[in-house]
A and B are shown apart, each in its own frame.
Chain A
Amino acid sequence: MSAQTTTTSPRTQVNLVGLGKTDYKGNPSTLCQGCGHNSISSQIIQACYELNIIPENLVKFSGIGCSSKSPTYFLNRSFGFNGLHGRMPSLATGAMFGDHTLKGLAVSGDGDTASIGMGQFKHVLRRNLPLVYIVENNGVYGLTKGQFSATAELGLELKKHGRNPYMPIDIVWEALASNATFVGRSFAGDPKQVKELIKAAFSHNGLAVLDIISPCVTFNNQDEAMHSYSWGREHEVALHDLAYVPPAEEIMVEYEEGEAKEVTMHDGSVVILKKLGEDYDPTNRAEAIRVIEEANTGQVLITGLIYIKPEQMSLIDMYNLPDTALNRLPEDRLRPSAKTIDKVNAMMF
């Protein structure tokens, strides 16, 4: 029963907690071949493997939609809850109080987060629940067969629904406006960056949003569509080359003075942001808003660690909870002693 028990053969490569890649696997995906979500699932597996996360120490959440089905495709040994459409943030909020030593990983979509779930999304951000919150953003409803989502760009043409007449919602911008403490944007076609961002997100003590453009090959992958593979490949501009260095590990990434920025995370890990173009400081919120505004007007898919504020208190930290998980407390710590009842009755008139 120890966590180190592995289902892999002795020959397979294992990580520091003795687990092989298969220990992080889920069921076979039932999503379409080539779906961006499958690529993200693979990077979640890879990131958790590399971070030496024991699956039992992680809990998964999702809402409803193609994206929200994906938690069954990774980390079978982790508990998970596939909740209601747009209501995953509240479910995760309550559940994370059960055992505060667990890591939380949530997967949502653009419909689940930016349409039906916008309210809960904004509120979980402002509360800073410790949770990695991935939005698999493809601008379209897949399971209900090709309707516009709230992130679909103005003028997008879809087979059945014609031209989108409405302005889109930008998830990164919404997150910044709601006092998010960790905001990243990436592209399923850039798996290395996705993985490094996920690793950094797990080191954040608070809510880490990753808005990942994840093309829907069936309903919204036309070359000119802003959530397609080809558009992403042609328009992606990474803010930096991102490398995650775990706590207590020597920084091996080589770079020249002034070429990179180091961000120290809550758990002591370091994210190295190697300069690609202009200087970018992800701890500056005004800068973050500026690059998003420029990217949107300039029709550019800006990716990377857009904003981080590592020092903000997380929701769980605000509650002065015991070291023991709440869900392990025995009866005598939950029910006040019999002698208190007289005191309570004396408090009444």
Chain B
Amino acid sequence: MSSAQTNISDIAEPTQRQITNDFSITVATVNGSGSQTSNLTMMRALFKMGIPVSGKNLFPSNIQGLPTWFTIRVNKDGFLARREESEIVVAINPESFAQDLDSVNPGGVFFYADHIRQSINRADISVYPMPVQKLVRESGAPSSLKDYIANMVYVGVLAQMIGIEMEKIKQALEFHFKGKAKPIDLNYGVVQAAAEWAQENLEKQDPFRVEAMDGTHDYILSDGNTAAALGSIYGGVQFAAWYPITPASSLAEALMDYLPELRKDPETGKNTFAVLQAEDELAAIGMTVGAGWAGLRAMTSTSGPGLSLMTEYAGLAYYAEVPIVVWNVQRVGPSTGLPTRTAQGDLTATYFMGHGDTQQIMLLPGSVNECFEFGWRSFDLAERLQTPIFVLSDLDFGMNNWMATPFKYPDEPMDRGKVLWEGDIERLAGNWGRYRDVDGDGIPYRTIPGNRHQRSAYFARGTGHNEDARYTEDPQDWEMGLDRLKKKFETARGLLPLPVIEKMEAAKIGIIAFGSTDPAVQEARYTLAEAGIPTDYLRVRAIPFSPQVADFIRQHQRTYIVELNRDGQLHQLLTLEMPDQATSLVSLAHIDGLPLTAKWVVNALQEAEETL
């Protein structure tokens, strides 16, 4: 008898109140033990019950052995940002046991593997032991799989104790194991045995339960990297070079998973694409620039350190005007930083990426659906503008599953930009120049290697060049070229995705944010409005900014810029862009590696309002 079990009888009076579809579950396990399967199974089962759900994997930079946590939030009203508190904690890892016990919200629930013999000194929570080892032994699983299926025990116990439907768990397992009967049966067997054990041996003492509802009917579950890869495929990606890095690897891997299915020529069986794992990020972007120059829809995907390595080529692509798409699935920097944690810290690094006068264009997806949409749209923009397009996703989007509406087929035909083929050169009687601003929008015309007209070729270079792509060091030529690039950047403002603006009645203050903080900001606005602080909200989706951003700022007494970094990088860029508005902009920046919570936004904003 462990001291823990003695404690069960000491628990305070169970409350009669029921709390349905509104709480968080944190599962504490060991990295590499297969717990991701169990956690996703729970999340998917809840989703299939129609309950709005989100899941965040807080994992270490490690293959096996270190503590890892997975947080599931269910919320009937659809508020799905991460919460700092957990009502239900599942402790499977002896190493983090004490910390996990401490983390249970007062009045919450603690499930633990009963072979962990550590004292449980909380009288304010419900405590349930789980005979993990016993149930694994009885499952008859081969010893090589025991560790993996051990994590199915808590799925079964929780299913019984909070009411997750077994049928939905079965569906989730069928999906996860792609219909393979053997692993499905083995895992489901453990879930069933655990649920039966709980039914016979545990008495419900806590108020937390789930109940089927109709809140996910029109949704799918997907992670942002998969969405980005699929979007890119619908954007006609032809060439992708990449180098493994957390949290971007699964984007390129998703390309490799889905391209053969979607982009093999049905008649010839030939591939209309090539994916190449490069030797490093320098080479990955180099190959991408080569392919983009040669007329292919070319992309690479990376994160922090890889982005740093890509800087030199980003400058070349900017100046030589080569269309490429770079996905930056942001993680925490500086340096190697926190490779498995999320951030929005690469805004300024990307904006100014390259030495000399460079200005890069960024798209900022704010949902998994926008990861898909910007997947295809980024190619249109890159080819229209003949410049790199950086899409800044982050680890929270990239590696976590989110509820999303079904992916929507592109509603615009491809825009291949200003390209001259043989007939065009012939029509122009060979009178064209690679860097001439013919249309007054700063965007020149280009030809592509393989054009067989004898006046089509030009010599691309990162060195000084004139309108006809000839080498020059002439002061006037240089300035003219750079000014045209600036003009092109201004043209981009009008072509990029517009911000999303949401208003509230009587709002005097504004909030500007971007990317994966959207759920936290949305929830914070709800809470703030309840507390008498209505807010308007603008979500930036691209930089350079649309004129709508400046208008929004002018319309509000104060505008809070909420973001996941230390220096308030979006705030910095806005201040640079509209110095006359600098005094009305207030930075609310935060970086601890975890997805932003509504609570943090509410507290930070209220505190700022009070100190005014």
Contact = CB atoms under 8 A, between A and B. Distances in A.
Interface of A: 1, 3, 5, 54-57, 59-60, 71-72, 76-84, 87, 89-99, 101-102, 119-120, 123, 319-323, 325-329, 331, 333-336, 338, 340-341, 344-345, 348-349
B434 to A, nearest CB: 11
Interface in B145-178: 172, 175
Interface string B394-416: 00000001001011111001101
Interface of B: 44, 47-48, 172, 175, 220-222, 226, 230, 233-236, 238-239, 241, 258, 262-263, 265, 268-272, 274, 276, 278-280, 282-298, 312-313, 316, 320, 376, 401, 404, 406-410, 413-414, 416, 422, 425-426, 447-454, 456-463, 471
Contacts of A80: 457, 459-460
Contacts of B270: 320-323
5 contacts: A79-B447, A79-B458, A79-B459, A94-B288, A349-B47
Given A77-B457, A321-B270, A335-B414, A1 B290 contact: no
A320 B269 CA distance: 8
Given A321-B270, A322-B272, A329 B462 contact: no
A138 to B, nearest CB: 21
Most buried by B among A55, A59, A95, A345: A95
B interface SS class: mixed
A72 B458 CA distance: 10
Nearest to B269: A320
Nearest to A338: B409
Nearest to B176: A349
Contact of B268 (A92, A119, A322, A326): A322
A82 B461 contact: yes
A94 B325 CA distance: 14
B316 A84 contact: yes
A221 B366 CA distance: 61
Contacts of A5: 454
A191 B48 CA distance: 74
A93 B288 CA distance: 9
Nearest to A75: B457
Given A1-B422, A94-B286, A327-B296, A99 B449 contact: yes
**3 closest cross-chain pairs (CB), A and B:** A98-B294, A90-B286, A94-B290
Contact of B274 (A97, A101, A328, A345): A97
B293 A81 contact: yes
A78 B408 CA distance: 42
Given A3-B452, A320-B270, A322-B268, A94 B241 contact: yes
A341 B316 CA distance: 36
B278 A331 contact: no
Given A341-B408, A344-B262, 16 more contacts: A79-B449, A84-B286, A92-B290, A94-B286, A94-B290, A102-B450, A120-B283, A321-B271, A323-B268, A326-B295, A326-B296, A327-B295, A327-B449, A334-B272, A336-B234, A348-B226
Contacts of A87: 282-283, 286, 312-313
Contacts of B410: 335
Contacts of B274: 97, 319, 321, 326
B363 to A, nearest CB: 19
A326 B272 contact: yes
A76 B471 CA distance: 13
Contacts of A320: 269-271
Contact of B236 (A319, A331, A345, A348): A331
Contact of B456 (A56, A94, A338): A56
Contacts of B413: 331
Contact of A119 (B235, B279, B287, B422): B279
A57 B452 CA distance: 7
B459 A120 contact: no
Contacts of A333: 265, 272
A94 B292 contact: yes
Contacts of A82: 459-463
B279 A97 contact: no
Contacts of B425: 1
Contacts of A92: 290
B238 A329 contact: yes
Contact of B287 (A3, A54, A90, A328): A90
A93 B287 contact: yes
A101 B449 CA distance: 11
B452 A97 contact: no
Contacts of B295: 98-99, 326-327
A3 B451 CA distance: 11
B235 A97 contact: no
A336 B375 CA distance: 14
B387 to A, nearest CB: 16
B459 A81 contact: yes
B452 A56 contact: yes
B456 A123 contact: no
A345 B220 contact: yes
B276 A93 contact: yes
Contacts of A71: 459
